[in-house]
Amino acid sequence: MTIEAQVSRRGGRDARRIIRTAPKVEMLPTLKRGLPVIEPMDAEQVERIHEASLAILEEVGVVFRDPIALEDWKRAGADVRGERVHLDRALVMDLIKTIPPDIEYFARNPAKNVQLGGPNSIFVPMTGAPYMRDLDDVRRGPTIADLGTFHKLAHMMPALHSSAHHIVEPMDIVVAHRHLHITYSSMKHSDKIFMGMTTSPKNAEDVLDMCEILFGEGFMETHAVTTGNCNGNSPLVWDQVMLGAMRAFCRRNQPVLCSPFVLGGANTPASTAAAVAQLNAEALSALAYTQVIRKGCPAIYGHYLSTVSMQSGAPMAGTPEISLMNFMIGQMARRYNVPWRTSNLLGGAKIFDAQAGYESAMTMMAVLMSGANYIWHSAGWNEAGMHCSIAKFVVDAEVCAMGYRMTQGIQWGDFDEALAAVRDVGPGGHYLGHPHTQANFERAFFIPKLFDNNSIEQWKVDGAKDIKQRALDHAKHLLGEYQEPTLDQAKDEELRVYIDRRSREIPAVDALNEDH
Amino acid sequence: MTIEAQVSRRGGRDARRIIRTAPKVEMLPTLKRGLPVIEPMDAEQVERIHEASLAILEEVGVVFRDPIALEDWKRAGADVRGERVHLDRALVMDLIKTIPPDIEYFARNPAKNVQLGGPNSIFVPMTGAPYMRDLDDVRRGPTIADLGTFHKLAHMMPALHSSAHHIVEPMDIVVAHRHLHITYSSMKHSDKIFMGMTTSPKNAEDVLDMCEILFGEGFMETHAVTTGNCNGNSPLVWDQVMLGAMRAFCRRNQPVLCSPFVLGGANTPASTAAAVAQLNAEALSALAYTQVIRKGCPAIYGHYLSTVSMQSGAPMAGTPEISLMNFMIGQMARRYNVPWRTSNLLGGAKIFDAQAGYESAMTMMAVLMSGANYIWHSAGWNEAGMHCSIAKFVVDAEVCAMGYRMTQGIQWGDFDEALAAVRDVGPGGHYLGHPHTQANFERAFFIPKLFDNNSIEQWKVDGAKDIKQRALDHAKHLLGEYQEPTLDQAKDEELRVYIDRRSREIPAVDALNEDH
């Protein structure tokens, strides 16, 4: 039920109370960048990477572990030797040129539609965590109810543009049926866009069927409503599950992220430039395949990218080379005029301590300077993705709002008016009482709610809470205020019927594929 | 005594032990950037700020609360009305053009000389904290011994290029004598460059006299060996203490930071663009005055910059507008071809929690993208500068090393060799055993020591420590390994004699001026 509907059903006092206490769940529109990007490569260096990638595709080739894809490639004119597909440059470049440079995403609430590509970017929360840190910061296995909690929070955080999908893995649902309940949770708890599970080709079909129920028959033929992620197995391998899911999405004209899964130094050379050349070859091979599946279907240049600790082999976050590679990948994606995805606010810390803060912010700042469009994993990621933290989720989402503001660039609209204040106030004066200040302060300067900027004395009076505790308090408050964005009753019913039927049809044993 | 000298004086076994356990205190050379800067303004917008600043200088004027400066300005041809100096554009631009675009700093150890200006940047630790968080994370008033501890750590952290000056305020020394003991501590515990106190014109003279003892008579006439900071009182006021100290430094040809002290929205208009126009006018007025004092003396475009919370009036850190203003100020300083200073790794958190991490890293990434040369407050700053934290100090210094690596840009030297590894390894292979990986891993990928990237199981085995605890352990370890970089005995003696004499001469009552 909408607030207005509730108000109209109740009396005056109640109504006023509801309106007064109703949380503001306005979403920030698509981030349209007003800040230049960082481009560490000159045109010649971009071509050097491009040429190296094409040479890898031609001479080394890419393994497609999937008979259908191998047949598709043969028909498309590629040089297929066993499972290895050698792609010549003319074929690759010819294929990727039909990828649309921009995507408009449609949400069930049209006010939450967003754009992607060029200067347009969106923030999407993390997904895929097998553990969570809950409202008491306890690390434990998540349930479908916990996933609902994250979807509610994603719905309420203004800078998040999507509710994603399995932010945490609902361990209380059998693997084979999870995709159904995850998708329903995304659709039910938020009216923002969401992601579609790619854990198997059949699961992908189920998700897309559910999208068809939500958006109506035929709508998806001409409108993007969800996004699948297909991870590569770097170096230079795409597997059957991912390729099958890719086909399901592309055939229905829904975008997929073509995401090489790169652990710099472990599955790439120990060189940022060469790692990007390999990653770029991998991404190009999958992007090209999307156009073999369906010419003109939307697709996104993806990647998951980390560097690894030489000692432990563990992925790291916020390292200088991850930042540099993001800048470089941005240049490559722009060279091909394809929207691109990266990962945001990553932490390798086990707890929500200063390490997590440094890692996350270094990641975000580099991501924003790189010009990435689909900015995934933007809230909650810690412990190298092993858990999603509620505290970190709400802080990350606010930090995204800060990054959003920075990336919009400089506001010039009131420049002359503001300069007049300099004359009014003069040397030694102060501005807080000036009418221009009072009219413009909030618009001019971002004040983070979850960062404490009081004196230490005031902070002690307020309970001497660290940011984790303040964030958990805030999350509890938000959840208390949450109001479900009502789903059309007939569609809701149809979705439930679909889930029931498929749950009966699908044996409760299956394989699980992670995506990152 | 140097390690080599110790070795030659002792026997074989002792000698080997000393060499084996001697800490690596190599300093990274001057950061030479290989990454483009972020420039949010086009040429026309840069001129718009420039014109607005010149109009402020001409029409509003700047207050110089100092009779000598007012006389100097009259002689220089400025329009002086009472304390207010109106500077016409021809005069300002004519004056600032003699500021050298580059500075070479000389340290007592020539291996630690550094360059400043253009692509050359250095990291300098925070200064001026009235409180500290110590090796047990206890917040308390610092002593001269604590200051020594910070100078030792500054000496040992590779990415810090300076030991600065009063990192913490030595509360056990009377205010009037502090500058002597602070300067001695900087000189004694580290052989890197250091900063010079500007708490009064006479204090500045004492500091410069001590520099003359350290570097020899006449040396400073042609060599920069220290840096003074002169804060403005925004809006548009320079006071007598700062101007007097500025004269002391400029007359001896030593660089000063001309630093408007900007709290966006409180002492500037509520507009990033207009705040920068005011700050730029303030900086230009002081930069111009340095050239009135001594034509051709080095000077640095400075600022301390924050935005304030509307509720509490407290300065914030890492906000989007601080980042944007840094980008803009960089463009202005480059327009004038003058090296410039900013502040780094700032935190408003009361403790070393995730807030401090986010704030600090957002600050650093923006600073590095802005192209700042003199990157001050690069280690230890938290609680809006009210305390310096030992834990944060060592983490910040490592984060600077990460930022240093990123800002160097992409390494292309082994690109072809690394690409050959892609052919060797092929699809589905792994790189950790490849000779190129083994030869290049450490050089290719930064592995932060103080970030834990192990599994949660290993982290628990290691004591489940947060980064604060690991950092304090590391600081204790470093201090255990510290070896004093021996100061020439005659100079040391002369410095002590000087301090004794001045301590007798200066009454033990005086005013304290903070600098930031």
The minimal CB distance from A41 to the residues B60, B62, B410 is found for: B410
Residue A149: C-alpha distances to residues A182, A186, B46, B277 (Å): 12, 11, 47, 46
- Tokens encoding B144: 């001269």
B138 interaction partners in chain A (CB closer than 8 Å): none
* C-beta separation of B476 from B149 below 8 A: no
Q: Is residue A14, in this structure, part of any structural domain at all?
A: yes
Q: Is residue A436, in this structure, part of any structural domain at all?
A: no
b/e for B175-188, b at 16 or more Cβ within 10 A?
Answer: bbbbbbbbbbbbbb
Which pLDDT score is estimated for B16?
43
What is the Cα–Cα distance from A204 to A243, expressed in whole angstroms? 11
A45 interaction partners in chain B (CB closer than 8 Å): 410, 412
Q: Is residue A428, in this structure, part of any structural domain at all?
A: no
Which pLDDT score is estimated for A24?
58
Contact residues for B224 (Cβ-Cβ < 8 A; gap 6+): B103, B104, B105, B106, B253, B254, B255, B298
> Which of helix, strand or coil describes residue A134?
coil
Which pLDDT score is estimated for A508?
87
Binary contact (A406, B267; C-beta < 8 A): no
Q: Is residue A417, in this structure, part of any structural domain at all?
A: no
Contact residues for B269 (Cβ-Cβ < 8 A; gap 6+): A418, A419, A421, A422, A431, A434, A436, A437, B275, B278
pLDDT of A10 > 90? The answer is no
Which pLDDT score is estimated for B120?
98
Containing H/E element for A443? helix A435-444
pLDDT of A437 > 70? The answer is yes
b/e for A469-483, b at 16 or more Cβ within 10 A?
Answer: ebbbbbbeebeeebb
* C-beta separation of A57 from A92 below 8 A: yes
Which pLDDT score is estimated for B392?
98
Quickly list DSSP for B132-170: EE-TT--EE---HHHHHHHHHHHHH-TT--B--S-SB--
Binary contact (B448, A308; C-beta < 8 A): no
Surface-to-core class of residue B41, CB atoms within 10 Å of its CB (0-12 exposed, 13-18 middle, 19+ buried)? buried
Q: Is residue A443, in this structure, part of any structural domain at all?
A: no
Contact residues for A90 (Cβ-Cβ < 8 A; gap 6+): none
Binary contact (B445, A365; C-beta < 8 A): no
Phi-psi map region of B284: left, alpha, beta (phi>0 left; psi -120 to 50 alpha): alpha
pLDDT tens figures, A247-284? 999 999 999 999 999 999 999 999 999 999 999 999 99
* C-beta separation of B49 from A410 below 8 A: no
The minimal CB distance from B310 to the residues A422, A426, A441 is found for: A441
* C-beta separation of A361 from B362 below 8 A: yes
The total of structural domains in chain B comes to 1
Q: Cα B429 to the chain's mean position, in Å? A: 46
Distance (Å) from the alpha carbon of B178 to chain A's nearest alpha carbon: 26
Identify the bridge partners of residue A259 per DSSP, sorted by sequence position: A231
Nearest to A186, CA basis, from A160, A205, A167, A206: A167
Angle made by CA atoms B362, B364, B369, in degrees to the nearest 5: 100
Which pLDDT score is estimated for B284?
98
Best of B453, B456, B460, B468 to disrupt the A interface (most A CBs within 10 Å) is B453
What is the Cα–Cα distance from A329 to B407, expressed in whole angstroms? 17
Distance (Å) from the alpha carbon of B96 to chain A's nearest alpha carbon: 22
Q: Is residue A30, in this structure, part of any structural domain at all?
A: yes
Q: What's the mean pLDDT in A154-182?
A: 98
Residue A118 one-letter amino acid: G
Identify the bridge partners of residue A123 per DSSP, sorted by sequence position: A375
The minimal CB distance from B426 to the residues A60, A311, A450 is found for: A60
What is the Cα–Cα distance from B23 to B19, expressed in whole angstroms? 9
Q: What's the mean pLDDT in A492-503?
A: 98
Q: Cα B416 to the chain's mean position, in Å? A: 39
Neighbouring CB atoms inside 10 A of A111's CB total 10
pLDDT of A23 > 80? The answer is no
Q: What is the mean pLDDT of chain A?
A: 94
What is the Cα–Cα distance from B513 to B223, expressed in whole angstroms? 27
Strands, E assignment, A14-123: 31-32, 62-65, 79-81, 84-86, 103-105, 114-116, 120-123
Nearest to A249, CA basis, from A201, A199, A303, A285: A201
pLDDT tens figures, B8-34? 444 444 444 444 444 556 999 999 999
Longest pairwise C-alpha distance within chain A: 78
- Could you report the average pLDDT of every consecutive run of 10 residues in chain B (516 residues)? 39 43 75 98 98 98 98 98 98 98 98 98 98 98 98 98 98 97 98 98 98 98 98 97 98 98 95 98 98 98 92 90 98 98 98 98 98 98 98 98 98 97 97 95 94 96 98 98 97 98 88 48
Which pLDDT score is estimated for A339?
98
Residue A158 sits at φ, ψ, to 5 deg, of: -60, -35
Which pLDDT score is estimated for B24?
58
ipTM comes to 0.94
* C-beta separation of A320 from A305 below 8 A: no
Q: Which chain A residue is nearest to residue B425, measuring alpha carbons?
A: A235
Residue A17: C-alpha distances to residues A8, A480, B9 (Å): 13, 15, 84
pTM reported for the whole predicted model? 0.94
CATH of the domain at A68: 3.20.20.480
- Tokens encoding A4: 């207005």
Neighbouring CB atoms inside 10 A of B445's CB total 24
Q: What percent of chain A has pLDDT above 90? A: 92
Q: Is residue B6, in this structure, part of any structural domain at all?
A: yes
Lowest mean pLDDT among A4-13, A324-333, B367-376, B503-512: A4-13
Domain of B513, in residue numbers: 1-409+448-516
pLDDT tens figures, A77-114? 999 999 999 999 999 999 999 999 999 999 999 999 99
Binary contact (A410, B272; C-beta < 8 A): yes
What sign results for the dihedral spanned by CA atoms B438, B442, B445, B447? positive
pLDDT tens figures, A108-140? 999 999 999 999 999 999 999 999 999 999 999
- Tokens encoding A505: 């049809």
- Tokens encoding A447: 């004040």
What is the Cα–Cα distance from A294 to A274, expressed in whole angstroms? 31
